[in-house]
Structure 1
Amino acid sequence: NTTDGWYLYADSSNGKFGDLADILTPVISLTGPKCTLLFWTYMNGATVGSLQVLIKKGNVTSKVWAQMGQQGAQWRKVEVFLGIHSYTQIVFRAKRGVSYIGDVAVDDVSFQDCSPLLSPDRKCTAEEFTCANKQCIAKEKLCDFVNDCADNSDETTYICRTFSGHCDFEFDLCAWEQDQDEDCDWNLKPSSIPPTSTEPAVDHTLGNSSGHYIFIKSYFSQQPMKTARLSSPVISKKSKNCKIIFYYHMYGTGIGALTLIQVSVSNRTKVLLNLTAEQGNFWRKQQLSLFGDEDFQIKFEGYCPHGYRECQNGKCYRVEQSCDFADDCGDNTDENECGGSCTFERGWCGWQNSLAENFDWVLGIGSHQSLRRPPKDHTLGNENGHFMYLEATPVGLRGDKAHFKSAVWQESSSACTMSFWYFISAKATGSIQVLIKTDKGLSEVWQESRQNPSNQWQKAVILLGKRRNFEVIFQGIRTRDLGGGAAIDDIEFTNCTTVGEISEICSEATDFLCEDKKCIAGHLVCDYKPDCSDRSDEAYC
């Protein structure tokens, strides 16, 4: 913790995106059943890459831990459970990000409880379990999801079948039951599916890509505090020395909360555990004693805290993280309903009609019979694909307008562009304009009213550039009474995120320039909430 100390880092000042840097241990002949790798890592910078821990045996390499992206200006502790391995090497692999802004550093690497088991030289006592290989272990270590015997005989199905609620979630939820909630559930996930930046790289049971774990997943946008519950079988009040052992992983900003509750048959509740903050990017073990004067069940509850919403992958995000062109969720939940890139094959993507007009943009499909609508969409190129077009209504006057607008985008980069495809047939009686709405008013950035005799989709590309708190509006205008028919499809925003953007000059004179060169609105300075990633807007308040 001083400037005199030393650490190991992967220098990103050279090389290109995706370059790898590996450092390996010598070959380790054998590790024990509780072997754990401990180290500290520091990953800071706008475009910092990733770090992985791999196990290499011969020509086979498997991932056991991973972390990617900026983690803040602090050292973070990591514990990686290794267990029993023979003739293996441990590999630290750093991957370079898109630029030199951010390095991956590692310090204080150590191995804990890695000594192999000694050959048995005594008989096991009555308080111990005799393993198949004659090793002796305490009976309380039976069925704790750790190979304490070194031959897995303490974790067999035959031994563990008498343990109520015992489940490794490799195939299903076992005897655990999901509370009926149509929006929010605990779901099985295989480690083989690429995780987001906050999910565990491997499960705890097998420690590799073939294992499974359960996590919270929601299928619809929900309000904060939505809860997912998982209930155990009923446990008898007569149970002696009863305890619950489980492993949990809680990592990332806005991780929400994990609560363990004991509920009696008469519905009396007791909170056994409540975790409400990030716990580190690794699996942690928890063991709690259970007792009661009535039969009872154990319930796991998970939810997002106040001020957060839940991503579809179970992660939480702050409301202010939506509509900023940055995929904070890892599955784009926070950007899906903002009026962004859209093919209109699965809905409107957050684009909306204004309620003030007397005719609208409507979702349509191709038609060779219509003289105004496109014969096919642009995305699929057939009559089954979808697009948005100006409806031709029985009532309407020339000059009527229909506005199709996005949500309010927080900020775009100076390189931000929007492209889309439009169709104005020879018989269409509508024109298209693209407007940008800000606090300062409306400005037109594109228009097209010419009919296209070839009846083909045309592409438009607009440089939006550096903007803040703006809406994009497609304005359709009737060019005749009762008219309409112009269409748009395949809207796409590119290079719009401000993540990693460096600028010495802000777009507005009242802006505040963070020390990391990001610009924020002046009213956000000294508001008791850091808006700069380096917290410089709150540093001198």
Structure 2
Amino acid sequence: MGPGGYGLATVTDMARKEAWMVTSPASTTGPEGRCVTFSFFMGQLGVESMKVLLITYDSDDPMQAITNTSIPLNFRPMTLWRRRQTTGGDWRRAAITYSTRQKHSIVFSASPDASYTRYRGFVAVDDIIFNAGPCENECLFDQDFCSWNNALDEDDFDWSLGWSSNKRGTGPAKDQASSLDPHVTTGGYAYIDSESPRLSGETARLVSDVLQPREEPLCFHFWVNMHGGGLGALRYRGAPLIA
């Protein structure tokens, strides 16, 4: 947005519709992904949610279909981020890492709350920035381990990178993001396999870089898929998360 300005959507009288603010079509991100950061502000009871969507196009030239309404524009949306709570009168900062092999756009969406149709509500966004590569401390595992490393002397075997599993009864067929869209067949993840020669009690440790201290707590968020016989536990700092 321009100096001193921001994008604003008011949900009053939207009648259950969504307000979309869409970027121009962009090319593939590559396996390294892309980071979008932005500031957002949500207020009043009339807002149901704010979402950031990734829409991928089937057309090789989506801009032609956008400018010429006689050409069908086919696209598929996927939710990357969603928030429902008010920001309490303050601007907040958010960062999202995503990747896609297709031409795509990013959508900022605002939705009214049907339970509070008589109340006002608004969503504002500002300072939208796109950068190549993942956001700080984030990893997609589509290309490599990013800033994560296998422990050198404190475990018995290593984590590996995978893109799909052909083993019946174990391993995800797709990574988390690709599993949301049947048309997407790429995307990586970090995994371990408990089959032979692994033994009961052995441990594989994946370690992040040293993180700098901050005044506010950090949120550690990840997707997990565990399936098949012979599994033990997934732990974080020695405390069992899933067993």
Structure 1 length normalisation: TM-score?
0.22
Rg comparison, structure with higher value: 1
Q: TM-score, normalised by structure 2?
A: 0.46
Normalized per residue, the structure richer in strand is 1
Q: 1 or 2 for the larger relative contact order (CA 8 Å, sep ≥6)? A: 2
